[in-house]
Amino acid sequence: MVKQRRDRKGGKRGQAAPEIGKPRATLEGATGNKRKGGPPLNPPYLARDVRKLYLVPIIHMSADMGSLASALKAGATAGLGHQLWQKHREIVSGFWDSIALFFDSLDVHGFRVYQDGLVANGPDGLRIVREGISQGSKNFEIIGKLLERGAVLVRTEDLALVKQEHTYIARMARSKSLKEKEAAALRYKLVQSKLLKQRDDFIAKRIEETLGEGETGILFIGAYHDVIPKLPGDIGVKEVKKAVKVRGYQQLLSKPRRDKAQFKQLSEYLSSPVTLKQS
């Protein structure tokens, strides 16, 4: 049986919470990207009681999309062609296998698990995880195994914001004609950046409030999210896979004329074993 515990704020009693925007320590081998007005994200030191967060930039598959799965799968197959769609599925399967093997190698007891789109914890959160597993989601399969090994599921997102985005995506997926689909896509594009920012703000705040001093978390988040710069300065972040490479793969996949060598390189990267110093 998976045990849950109540959320609690990190930090020492009587100590002010770290301010968002201050330089952040990162784990060894973490990204060298620079923050605005700050140093690189891999300083040669770590705070003694730093909180740690593994970030997994995910690739959404139809099995992750609940009631929209069939419509989105049909659209993707039509857009990419059957052969490329099957190849893509194999690549993404290899990606998730590499993520699973990495976490299998860690003692995850007490880790706090944050998930893109997760609007509940406790029994409702566990029901969402089980439904994802039953629909074939490798993302949720990994989370299920983490919970079995003592990790703790944490509500990650705001229900109203997630429902807004789901509504826009549903309108595109269920459009009957090309004209309807284009109109729905335009309406979504007009609000997409604002919605993504609002969701990222909420996710960062949830992590700040629920990841305690000395604790470790795992965030499974879509590759186009930008949560890292919004986190407080005492949370050390490690990208399990580089988000920029995951985005690069997704961008190439959608292009009719793609650089085959680059696409092959990124495909191999996605399914390669995770190492803390991979670039």
Give every strand in the sheet of 216-222, ordered side by side. 152-153, 112-115, 216-222, 51-58, 235-239
Give residue 80's pLDDT: 66
Q: How confident is residue 176, by pLDDT bands cut at 50, 70 and 90?
A: confident
Give residue 29's pLDDT: 38
CA angle 141, 164, 151 (to 5 degrees): 25
Q: How confident is residue 149, by pLDDT bands cut at 50, 70 and 90?
A: very high
For residue 251, pLDDT over 70 is answered with yes
d(CA 227, CA 211): 15
Question: What are the angstrom distances between the C-alpha of 15 and each of 19, 204, 278?
Answer: 12, 19, 36
Better-predicted residue by pLDDT, 51 or 66: 51
Specify the residue for token string 């490329």: 84
- Which residues sit opposite 239 in a β-bridge? 55
263-266: long-range contacts at Cβ-Cβ below 8 A with a sequence spacing of 24 or more? none
For residue 117, pLDDT over 50 is answered with yes
Asked if residue 160 lies in contact with residue 194, where contact means CB atoms within 8 angstroms, the answer is no
Phi, psi (deg, nearest 5) at residue 218: -130, 125
Token pair listed for 263: 């696409």
- Which residues sit opposite 218 in a β-bridge? 54, 113
Burial status of residue 218 (CB atoms within 10 A of its CB: 0-12, 13-18, 19 or more): buried
Give residue 184's pLDDT: 81
d(CA 160, CA 168): 13
Q: What is the arithmetic mean of pLDDT over 251-272?
A: 90
Give residue 16's pLDDT: 43
For residue 191, pLDDT over 50 is answered with yes
Chain centroid to Cα 206, Å, comes to: 14
Asked if residue 119 lies in contact with residue 159, where contact means CB atoms within 8 angstroms, the answer is yes
Predicted model pTM: 0.76
Give residue 18's pLDDT: 39
Domain-by-domain residue ranges, the chain?
A: 51-223+231-271
Give residue 19's pLDDT: 37
Convert the pLDDT of each residue in 204-223 to its tens digit: 999 999 999 999 999 999 99
**Of the candidate ranges 19-28, 85-94, 96-105, 207-216, the one whose mean pLDDT is the lowest:** 19-28
Q: At a CB cut-off of 8 Å and minimum separation 6, what does 98 contact?
A: 241, 270, 271, 272, 273, 274
How many other CB atoms are found less than 10 A from the CB of residue 193?
A: 9
**Of the candidate ranges 69-78, 91-100, 106-115, the one whose mean pLDDT is the lowest:** 69-78
Question: What are the angstrom distances between the C-alpha of 256 and each of 71, 91, 189, 251?
Answer: 21, 18, 21, 11
Give residue 225's pLDDT: 95
